[in-house]
Amino acid sequence: MPLDKFVLILVAVIAAAGLTVWIGTLVAASLQMPAGWLVLIPAALIAYVVWRVIADRIGNSEDDHYDRIEK
């Protein structure tokens, strides 16, 4: 990957992260929410991702590790 493209992607990601934090701070300050509610959304997103990974590992018959073990 060319260096200029890498730097452009890096700057865009850092700018997007900063903008997200800034908007989140403004929303949290305007709503005067308790701190527990601010933790609930990221915790729910992490729990959903973990749930999807576990469900995919259990239900995926194409990627079954134990089918290839000699008995």
Please give the tally of structural domains in the chain: 1
**Structure confidence by residue, pLDDT tens digits, 7-61:** 999 999 999 999 999 998 888 788 776 777 778 878 898 999 999 988 887 877 6
Q: How many CA atoms lie within 13 A of 41 on its CB side?
A: 7
CA 37, chain centre distance (Å): 18
pTM of the model: 0.45
C-alpha to C-alpha distances, 3 to 6, 21, 25, 49, 64, nearest whole angstrom: 5, 27, 33, 32, 40
Domain membership of residue 18 as a residue range? 3-68
